[in-house]
Amino acid sequence: MDKPLVIVESPTKVKTIKKYLGNDFNVTSTMGHIKDLPKKEIGIDINNGFCPQYIIITGKNKIIQELKKAAGNAQEIFLAPDPDREGEAIAWHTSEILSKKNRSFYRVMFHELTKNAILNAMNTPEPLNKNKYEAQQARRILDRLVGYQISPLLWRKVKRGLSAGRVQSVAVRIIVDRERLIQAFESEEYWTITAAMTAEEPPPFDAKLSKKNGQKIHIPNKESSDQILKDLENEKFIVHDIKSKTSKRNPSPPFITSTLQQDAIKKLRFSAKKTMMIAQQLYEGIDINGEPVGLITYMRTDSTRIANEAAEEAIQFVKERFNPSFSIEKPRIFKNKKKVQDAHEAIRPTSAYYVPDEIKKHLSPEQYALYRLIWQRFVASQMHHALIDTVSISIAAKEYLFQASGSIVQFQGFMAVYTTEEDDEVNDKNKIKLPALKKGETIECQKLSPKQHFTQPPPRFTEASLVKELEENGIGRPSTYATIISTIQEKNYVEKLKGYFHPTEIGCIVNDLLRDNFPDIMDVEFTAKMEDSLDRIETAQMNIQEILTAFYDSFKQQLDDAGQSMLSMKGIGLMTEIVCPDCKKEKLHIKYGKNGLFLACNGYPDCSFSCNYVRDEKGNVMAVEPETPQVTEKTCDKCGKPLLVKNGKYGTFLACSGYPDCKFTMSLNELKKPVSTGVSCPNEKCDGEILEKTTRRGKTFYGCSMYPKCEYALWYKPISKQCPECQAPFIIEKITKKKGKFETCVNKDCKYELSIDEATMQN
Q: How far apart are CA 325 and CA 673, in angstroms?
A: 84
For 452, other C-beta atoms within 10 Å of its C-beta total: 12
Q: How far apart are CA 194 and CA 185, in angstroms?
A: 27
Compute CA distances 82 → 13, 88, 260, whole Å: 10, 8, 19
Residues near 72 by beta carbon (within 8 Å), at least 6 away in sequence: 2, 5
Q: How far apart are CA 347 and CA 297, in angstroms?
A: 5
Q: CA Rg, the chain, in Å?
A: 35
Closest CA to 42 of 135, 136, 143, 138: 143
694 alpha carbon, distance to own chain's centre? 41
Q: How far apart are CA 570 and CA 560, in angstroms?
A: 19
Closest CA to 527 of 165, 261, 154, 84: 165
Asked whether the beta carbons of 4 and 18 are under 8 A apart, the reply is no
Asked whether the beta carbons of 261 and 272 are under 8 A apart, the reply is yes
Q: How far apart are CA 269 and CA 373, in angstroms?
A: 13
Strand 104-107 and strand 76-80: pairing?
Answer: parallel
Q: Which helix (H) or strand (E) holds 5?
A: strand 5-8
Asked whether the beta carbons of 434 and 393 are under 8 A apart, the reply is yes
Q: How far apart are CA 377 and CA 419, in angstroms?
A: 8
Residues near 313 by beta carbon (within 8 Å), at least 6 away in sequence: 351, 352, 353
What is the identity of the amino acid at 331?
P
Asked whether the beta carbons of 41 and 312 are under 8 A apart, the reply is no
Asked whether the beta carbons of 14 and 67 are under 8 A apart, the reply is no
What is the identity of the amino acid at 705?
S
The active-site residue out of 298, 354, 368, 592 is: 298
752 tagged catalytic: no
Q: How far apart are CA 653 and CA 105, in angstroms?
A: 67
Q: How far apart are CA 608 and CA 572, in angstroms?
A: 14
Closest CA to 254 of 379, 129, 152, 362: 379
Cis peptide before 202 (omega within 30 of 0): no
520 alpha carbon, distance to own chain's centre? 24
Asked whether the beta carbons of 243 and 391 are under 8 A apart, the reply is yes
Q: How far apart are CA 164 and CA 162, in angstroms?
A: 7
Closest CA to 663 of 682, 679, 648, 680: 648
For 626, other C-beta atoms within 10 Å of its C-beta total: 12
Q: How far apart are CA 237 and CA 228, in angstroms?
A: 14
Q: How far apart are CA 622 and CA 451, in angstroms?
A: 36
Q: How far apart are CA 447 and CA 232, in angstroms?
A: 11
Residue 80 burial (10 A CB sphere; 0-12, 13-18, 19+): buried
Q: How far apart are CA 365 and CA 502, in angstroms?
A: 31
Strand 26-29 and strand 5-8: pairing?
Answer: parallel
Q: How many residues does the chain have?
A: 763
- Looking from the CA of 150 toward its CB, the CA atoms found within 13 Å total 28
Which residues are catalytically annotated?
298
